[in-house]
């Protein structure tokens, strides 16, 4: 499997739930895919105009692919880009509950040992107004297509089986 096949399978898995943009330039970074999801939940009395409360969940998927071996600097730069996005695309307000940013780095030729180590140790969790205006978590996934392996940080373990199933789909 190559990165284009994986990306195609990824898009098919997301198409029901996400708005998907291909070959997207986000804040100066060229991405293979940018996908976003927005869910708003409300409670109301008698009429939908009488809203008691509401909360919003946002999810962003940032996909970058590379044909050569990814080294530690590639992962550090990608992780820093994801951290900067947590300040640029998150808009905390009274109805904001959560924003999840999934950073997916796909590599056709694998990752250096140092890159894998950095990816596994990466973490970023931000709360806004002591949690009253929600939080933001960043999940990092490193997908090695030469060895059909998936590496993730601690927050990413919740979604590891989803990305692993796409990897196994093409074996």
Looking up residue 9, the CATH number of its domain turns out to be: 3.40.1340
In three-state form (DSSP H/G/I as H, E/B as E, the rest C), the secondary structure along the chain is CCHHHHHHHHHHHHCCCCEEEEEEEECCEEEEEEEEEEEEEEEECCCCCCEEEEEEEEEEEEEEEECCCECHHHHHHHHHHHHHHHHHCCCCCCCEEEEEEEEEEEECCCECHHHHHHHHHCCCEEECHHHCCCEEEEEEEEEECCCCEEEECCHHHHHHHHHHHHHHHCC
In 3D, which of 170, 126, 140 has the Cα closest to residue 78? 140
Residue 27, domain extent: 3-169
Q: What is the pLDDT of residue 170?
A: 60
Per-residue pLDDT of 25-46, as tens digits, reads: 999 889 999 999 999 888 888 8
> pTM here?
0.89
**What is the number of other CB atoms lying within 10 angstroms of the CB of residue 129?**
11
| Rg of the chain over all Cα atoms, to the nearest angstrom | 17
Q: Which residues of the chain have pLDDT under 70?
A: 170-171
End-to-end Cα separation, the chain, in angstroms: 7
Return the biggest CA–CA distance within the chain. Answer: 59
Number of domains in the chain: 1
């Amino acid at each position: 499997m190559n990165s284009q096949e994986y990306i195609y399978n990824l898009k098919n898995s997301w198409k029901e739930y996400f708005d998907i943009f291909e070959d997207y330039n986000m804040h100066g970074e060229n991405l293979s895919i940018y996908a976003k999801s927005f869910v708003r939940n409300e409670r109301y009395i008698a009429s939908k105009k009488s809203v008691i409360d509401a909360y919003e969940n946002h999810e962003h998927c940032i996909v970058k692919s590379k044909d050569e071996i990814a080294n530690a600097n590639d992962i550090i730069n990608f992780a820093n880009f994801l951290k900067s996005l947590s300040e640029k695309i998150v808009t905390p307000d009274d109805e904001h509950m959560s924003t999840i940013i999934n950073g997916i780095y796909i590599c056709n030729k694998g990752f250096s040992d140092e890159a894998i180590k950095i990816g596994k140790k990466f973490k970023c969790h931000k709360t806004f107004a002591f949690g009253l205006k929600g939080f933001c978590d960043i999940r990092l996934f490193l997908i090695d297509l030469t060895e059909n392996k998936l590496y993730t940080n601690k927050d990413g373990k919740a979604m590891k089986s989803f990305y692993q199933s796409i990897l196994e789909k093409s074996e």
